[in-house]
Structure 1
């Protein structure tokens, strides 16, 4: 039986000439009318710039996977305009494709670098958009933008206050290679950012001292819940309570269940006689994720295709405050990319 979550996210539309299959379905829901932010959120059956034609997932290994590095600046703006899942008042919500960096070096093509043109394209005039909430380059899903500095500041304060109160506001979905030992729980770890051989890597720190904290070590916390299992993998719901680079990937590695497509940290999980264990982070260099033959068969991938597997980590849901203190919270939803849905289908995930 196919998981309900898979059925929920199966309605996609194809963007014809640019996205070559980067699909979306009903994109955003709101808990109720958002008076201060504009009109009530609504289903958008045909996003801007999309074709009404639909295609099956077919035999493509990664259907809908976008390669932003191959796009011109104008093409990227068109892609982002078509990825808008909701626009109300000063708030604009995107369903960011996997592989698009939010920030980067001067001259690099990033989300931040094209915000002025995107603002013009969306009819915001001189009200330039700024990033309120976004995840990393390899993660797909929701990005929250605002053309109003006061609204952006209010929301950023809300997110910071929620973290201090340990109330999750963001919900991610991940597919993991391996199944966590418990169906739900929390992961706590002190993490630091190291620069090793020209690469920034996150490593855990055992029993951090006050000096460690002053030197940039951060105590991190995430909640997880196993939603579905199948073929030795799991669909996991993740809710971070802190913000740190690659936090969710590291937390799943510490559970001995790296995220599918994690080509940076998955090598830290070793296996001997079917038993998994952690390898020392400091002596384990990043490498392409290695999947066993059975999993490759389930995914219908060759080893060379598996080396290009995108990270299966998606920011699916955001909770925002209502415009007034007594108003109900707002819920924003972003559908899964089609390659993510294909993976769920191939693995035959069943609800636990």
Structure 2
């Protein structure tokens, strides 16, 4: 199977090919084709941590490589043909620096554990819902931006480029597009449904920053949004260093968090659903659903946001 992602409004397509080379990883989702499967749990849990805003998040630093493979093997909720569905534990990064313990780094061992032999697993992702600090100016629309990766102060960061020249495009600048729709608002925040129509690292995070509404828990790009006399504006991306997200006192009270706890908030960007076409044109599509993780649900309740 050659994993072929086609980003549309609510689906990912794939085509047949030799071998099994696709894995779908998302936070806590099951499979639905007329019904929804409940994800399997894992017996391995990290211990409690003081001042932790989201108890139960996985701490990869507490696990060995072998233990992480065991956790992921237990988290497989569906395996059909070329598609393996994994309930990725919250707190486990998908990618990282060389030597980091990530989902990508243990895919070869996971493939062996699942009996796939030398067949390669690949990750397919498509975040769908986000809780934002701030409310977009319009209830729905599209976000277009030319983006590029730049190495700034030892980190690879995504920065917007306007307007991109032909030389910029040849040097790695990509025109990106996302659709958004505000689902609910409350306490100065919004629950936003996002659909990327292009693929670029951190695309949705940067797109929401350009809307002056950074994703809650975005400790990489939220610093680009500043406020003076209650008015938000963008700081230059090239000269703004990443830092822990700073939330105002009213929002901290709503979330029942201290500033130090807010600095540990996970990114509130969550894959909601994917619709896969069946193997044959008349087959019923397979819908993969991602139940909200506990911390996401808790935040919705604290902010009075109700998902439609």
Provide TM-score, normalisation by structure 2: 0.82
Deviation at 1:327, TM superposition (A): 2.5
Contact 2:300–2:306 (Cα < 8 Å) also in 1: no
Residue 55 of structure 2 corresponds to residue 76 of structure 1? no
Contact 1:171–1:237 (Cα < 8 Å) also in 2: no
Residue-by-residue CA offset, 1:133-181 (whole Å, 9 max, x unaligned): 13xxxxxxxxxxxxxxxxxxxxxxxxxxxxxxxxxxx451110000111
Contact 1:230–1:350 (Cα < 8 Å) also in 2: no
Contact 1:229–1:351 (Cα < 8 Å) also in 2: no
Deviation at 1:336, TM superposition (A): 1.5
* Closer, same or farther: CA 132–311 of 1 in aligned 2, 3 Å: closer
**Of 19, 37, 40, the match for 1:47:** 40
1:30-45 matches, cutoff 5 A: 30=33, 42-44=36-38
Residue 134 of structure 2 corresponds to residue 178 of structure 1? yes
- Provide the aligned length of Structure 1 versus Structure 2: 276
- Matches of 1:98 and 1:309 in 2, distance apart? 12
Partner of 2:241: 285
Deviation at 1:78, TM superposition (A): 2.1
Name the SS for the 2:84 alignment partner.
strand
Structure 2 stretches lacking a partner, 5+ long: 1-26, 45-50
RMSD between aligned residues: 2.3
Provide TM-score, normalisation by structure 1: 0.73
Partner of 1:112: 104
Partner of 2:82: 90
Contact 2:214–2:221 (Cα < 8 Å) also in 1: yes
Deviation at 1:345, TM superposition (A): 1.1
Contact 2:40–2:77 (Cα < 8 Å) also in 1: yes
**Of 29, 34, 39, the match for 2:32:** 29
Structure 1 stretches lacking a partner, 5+ long: 1-22, 32-40, 52-58, 135-169
Residue 281 of structure 2 corresponds to residue 325 of structure 1? yes
Deviation at 1:230, TM superposition (A): 1.0
Contact 1:115–1:128 (Cα < 8 Å) also in 2: no
Name the SS for the 2:149 alignment partner.
strand
* Closer, same or farther: CA 238–179 of 1 in aligned 2, 3 Å: same
Moved more, 325-334 or 304-313: 325-334
Partner of 1:218: 174
**Of 122, 127, 143, the match for 1:187:** 143
- Matches of 1:350 and 1:200 in 2, distance apart? 35
Higher helix share: 1
Residue 58 of structure 2 corresponds to residue 102 of structure 1? no
Deviation at 1:329, TM superposition (A): 2.7
**Of 225, 245, 252, the match for 1:296:** 252
- Matches of 1:249 and 1:125 in 2, distance apart? 34
Contact 1:63–1:338 (Cα < 8 Å) also in 2: no
- Matches of 1:81 and 1:93 in 2, distance apart? 11
Name the SS for the 2:227 alignment partner.
strand
Contact 1:64–1:337 (Cα < 8 Å) also in 2: no
Deviation at 1:298, TM superposition (A): 0.6
Name the SS for the 2:31 alignment partner.
coil
